[in-house]
Chain A
Amino acid sequence: MNARRFRPHLPGRLQHPGPLRYALMYALSVLVLVGLWWGASALVKEWKGGREFLPNPVRAISEMARLASHWFPNFLISAWRLVLAILIAFSLGYPLGLLIGRERRLDELISPMIYIVYPIPQVAFILVLFLIFGIGNPVKVAIVASALFFQILISARGAAKNIEDTHVTSVVSAGASRWQVYWHVILPATLPSILTGLRVSIGLGMAFLYIAETYGTFDPRRGGLGAFIRANSYSAAQAFAGILAMALLGLILYVAIDLIERLVCRWKYPARRSS
């Protein structure tokens, strides 16, 4: 056996880097991405006989800076739509998922419905929703929230089912009521899985938001980043300003979830907390 291949379990301090290391790792990732992007841009340009279908990072970022007054209001509109959709999906999907995961009869009743509805691509309902509700904000938020709802519901159900029996036995034997079991065990035990599920859902949520904003907007100035990208699709560099703004929105949400996790799942970061 090759001893060098053995990787021992890292202590908490090394598993969870501090803020400086965290920022450095992000900066390094951005550098690597920019490098790859540059290479891809050069390759596409060469392949397409000098035409700029994929602008290089400097060009895209300079366009982003130049068009800041155009994309930033759309960024704010997309951001609040996405955050509102996440909050709605989370506040409905999380408790329902926990209940289904823990209450056998509810699981028997509701899970078949989920299995029937969830595999249908929600994109298929977008046109119907537009026809029913029009193209205002509520329908865009509803489209994203409905997509995220199932993701969060299924994550919560799975997490609630996988809770260690000993944790439940421990509080029940100490006299906990059903709701005390939820408060002291089910809720905290499932939080890390739910936050992971939420991270996965952000990508899906942004894809749905893009579709909703692209097809459900007539005014590109107040339509969100999807509408901004569509309105600027005649210029790859300008469209990329919008795409970069979407990436920025996703990054901000990921970092926010990381921070929320550090706040509400403090037990996962004990070494740093106690140092």
Chain B
Amino acid sequence: MIELDGVVVEYGRGRRVTRAVDGIDLSVGEGESLALIGPSGCGKTTLLFAIAGLYQATEGSIAIDGEPIRGTRREIALILQDAGLLPWKTVWQNANLSLKLHGDYPEKTAEHVLAELGLSESKQRFPTELSEGMKRRVGVARALSTSPSVMLMDEPLASLDTLTKERIQDLFLKLWSRHRFSMILVTHDIEEAAFLGQRIAVLTERPARIKSIVGNPAMGDLEYREQPEFMETVKRLRDAMEEEEVDE
């Protein structure tokens, strides 16, 4: 269980302090998927990085299973916007990086994950030799290699073409169903949020506050995009976001 209680995140010093996140209360259950959606630059990535332990909350608390977050943790994996691959490492080295940093060498884990993601044949390639879709899969492989209980994703499919994006969204859904980690997805793509979030928190302009939370219980099926409930959720999200713009 991930619990956020009155989380405020500020950065800068003195008169240049910027409040990026302002009083977020949220909880994400074990194996639950939550999407955070909001306008660009609203502070959703800052919030995600605070949950990942990369930023310290200025006020309030963030805890996982009751234990406050004071830094990065092995059970929390973060997938970055462009997969965060290191260009000087091969697919194999990138996928194993988290294990290596933690001083573990259970290479079978990464081997297994690469096979699951269809990357076994590309182990010795460098990221520059991969398609954008493959790069994202390597980023997922690295995140999965430590068998995390919490998966955080920061606009992981931004800048992908529509078909590749949908394929990777399907992959995320399958992996989430199979591994049952708690998932927090940051996105500004309404359809992505509707496809992958059991609940979708709509954030305001900076500083990020929760505008509304939209339930999406029918998600979880690969065919969900074809279903009327999906279109309904998309419409509700769009209304919620537009309402925010009118308020501003």
Contact = CB atoms under 8 A, between A and B. Distances in A.
Tell me if chain B binds chain A: yes
B86 A185 contact: yes
A24 interface: no
Contacts of B124: 274
Interface of B is mostly: loop
A188 B52 CA distance: 25
B4 interface: no
Nearest to B72: A175
Interface of A is mostly: helix
Interface in B66-91: 72-74, 77-78, 80-82, 84-89
Nearest to B143: A174
Contacts of A170: 80, 84-86
Contact of A188 (B72, B81, B86, B125): B86
B101 interface: yes
B86 A175 contact: no
A18 B21 CA distance: 53
A274 B129 contact: yes
Contact of B80 (A12, A166, A274): A166
A270 B74 contact: no
Contacts of B82: 166
A256 interface: no
Contacts of B78: 173-174
A175 B101 contact: yes
Chain A interface: which size bin? 20 to 34
Contacts of A184: 86, 89, 97, 101
A175 to B, nearest CB: 5
Contact of B52 (A173, A180, A267): A173
Contact of B84 (A12, A166, A266): A166
Contacts of A166: 80-82, 84
Interface string B84-123: 1111110000000110011000000000000000000000
A241 to B, nearest CB: 43
Interface in B138-183: 142
Given A171-B97, A173-B78, A180-B101, 12 more contacts: A166-B84, A169-B80, A169-B84, A170-B85, A174-B72, A174-B101, A175-B102, A176-B101, A184-B101, A267-B89, A270-B128, A274-B124
